[in-house]
Structure 1
Amino acid sequence: MPFLDGGKMIACLFSGGKDSTLALHRVMESGRNVDLLISMVSKNDYSYMFHKPNVMLTRLQAQAMGIKHEFFNTEGEKEAELAELEAAIVGSGATAVITGATASEYQKKRIDRICEEHGIEHIAPLWQIDPVEELNEISDRFEAIITRVAAEGLDDTFLGKRIDSNMIRRLQALHDKYGINMTFEGGEAESFVLDAPLFKRRIQISGAHIEHNLDEGTYVIEGAILVDKQSV
């Protein structure tokens, strides 16, 4: 039932990746109700703001959590995409919006501006979180996989692999060697969550393949279904 949070209509900018999913969990586990998941579908593979790989599968994640979900299209061009994001947020009727921003001033300041101009509360529970702390929580509580790599040291051996303790050690080594952001806030990689505490069912991948574009690799999920959590 919507509007349980003191009359607020809370929406979450939701890419299906680890950050937005963890931010959503943090807010809901604090006792607040979330009414809507907003997923931006970008035509640009290199959007400054939005995930591209597998974003259409956010509908399964929303279904697994029983939360209303809407797609909004964006050309994904720098700055212009902000107007499209603003239209989505304001058009949704939200009075508070959750984001998974962790370290990107570019993203947070722009969403702060949108929210301030329209009297909307910006909830960013992961802002300036310690990267290792976040990854450990993801490893312990979520089943999240890497779906895109785009930085030195990140190769195909990461694609489709779960973020677990071994993955965290590998990312720490790359951070020490190349200085990559371990939570991928600089666009080094992207992720997708298959299972989490709020999921009543988990996502099972039925088919996937790897695509390459210049120095990037993407794990494209061709098919996926919701299954009972006890299913292997």
Structure 2
Amino acid sequence: MRLAVLYSGGKDSNLALYRLLREGHEIASLLTVIPAKPDSWMFHRPNVEFAGLQAECMRFPWWCLRVSGEKEKEVIELIPVLSRLKDQLKIEGIATGAIASNYQKSRVEILCDALGLKPLSPLWGMPELGLIAEILSLKFEVYFTSVSAEGLDEEWLGKLLDWSRVERLLKLQEKYGLNPSGEGGEYETFVCDSPLFKKKLKVLEAETAWHHNSGTWNIKRLQVLEKPYP
């Protein structure tokens, strides 16, 4: 099926993209939605401005769509532009990286129903630890870009997701009920490399912003690097 993939640049949308390709789907374009408000209910916000550079590293077409960020309204705002892209790119379906968020999954289904497209969520229902294990086994290079949960402090920002971090997340799950996959908004991420990247990214400059019990790691400069091939 020829698909447009909702792409934030985080671990889940990158793993969804990897799985869709493995299943034999054709990727017409990556679609990054940038909400005007940082607390969008539907769309990932930190560092999405660099999603186009990630798409370039993977050699996929990329479109940037801007919405208000207001609950429900931000979804409806997408219908006219997605209708045009459906015809222009010959899209048959829209895919998302939703794992367990009924809100996100149902809103994509509403969009697809309005546009006559098929919704796909290739990660839906995946076990939390299984998802992270797959990401690490595939050697995704994933960094924490926001934290917003008890037990996750400023020290996590800008750190690499690896097995030592996973062990700490599992302990926090036991103590606070935190979702180790971050699906509940506990944290967000940025991917600098994966098996799909023909070139990789290196963060040269970033700034940390911390407010009360949450914070973000805001990337300022990235470098595109060649990857060694065997």
Q: Name the TM-score, length of structure 2 as normaliser.
A: 0.93
**Does 2:57 correspond to 1:27?**
no
Residue aligning to 2:126:
129
From 195, 198, 216, the counterpart of 2:193 = 195
The aligned runs of 1:77-92 (5 Å cut-off) are 77-92=70-85
User: Is 2:58 the partner of 1:58?
Assistant: no
1:157 and 2:155 are equivalent in the alignment: yes
Q: Which amino acid aligns with 2:20?
A: V
**Runs of 4 or more consecutive aligned structure 1 residues displaced over 6 Å after TM superposition:** none
- Letter in structure 2 aligned against 1:137: E
Task: Give the structure 2 partner of residue 112 of structure 1.
Answer: 109
Using the TM superposition, give the Cα deviation of residue 85 of structure 1 relative to its aligned residue in structure 2, in angstroms: 3.0
Give % identity: 38
User: Conserved in 1, the CA contact under 8 Å of 2:149 and 2:187?
Assistant: yes
CA distance in 2, matches of 1:220, 1:38: 21
| Counterparts of 2:143 and 2:39, CA distance in 1 | 20
Task: Return the match for 2:170 from 156, 169, 172.
Answer: 172
User: SS of the counterpart of 1:210?
Assistant: strand
Decide whether the 8 Å contact of 1:15 with 1:39 is kept in 2: yes
Match 1:215 to one of 207, 213, 216: 213
Deviation at 1:102, TM superposition (A): 0.2
Give structure 2 stretches of 5+ with no counterpart. none
Q: Quick one: distance in 2 between partners of 1:191 and 1:158?
A: 11
Closer, same or farther in 2 for the Cα pair 1:75/1:177, shift >3 Å? same
- 2:212, 2:74 → 1: CA distance? 24
Look up the SS of the partner of 2:113 in the other structure: helix
Deviation, 1:90, is 2.5
> SS of the counterpart of 1:35?
strand
The answer (yes or no) to whether the contact 2:192–2:200 under 8 Å persists in 1 is yes
Shift of 1:118: 2.2
Q: Does the aligned pair in 1 maintain the 2:79–2:114 contact within 8 Å?
A: no
Count of residue pairs brought into register by the alignment: 224
Deviation at 1:115, TM superposition (A): 1.1
Query: 5+ unaligned residues in a row in structure 1: which ranges?
Result: none
TM-score normalised over the length of structure 1: 0.93
**1:146 matched to 2:144:** yes
RMSD: 1.4
Partner of 1:40: 33
After TM superposition, give the deviation of residue 86 of structure 1 in Å.
2.9
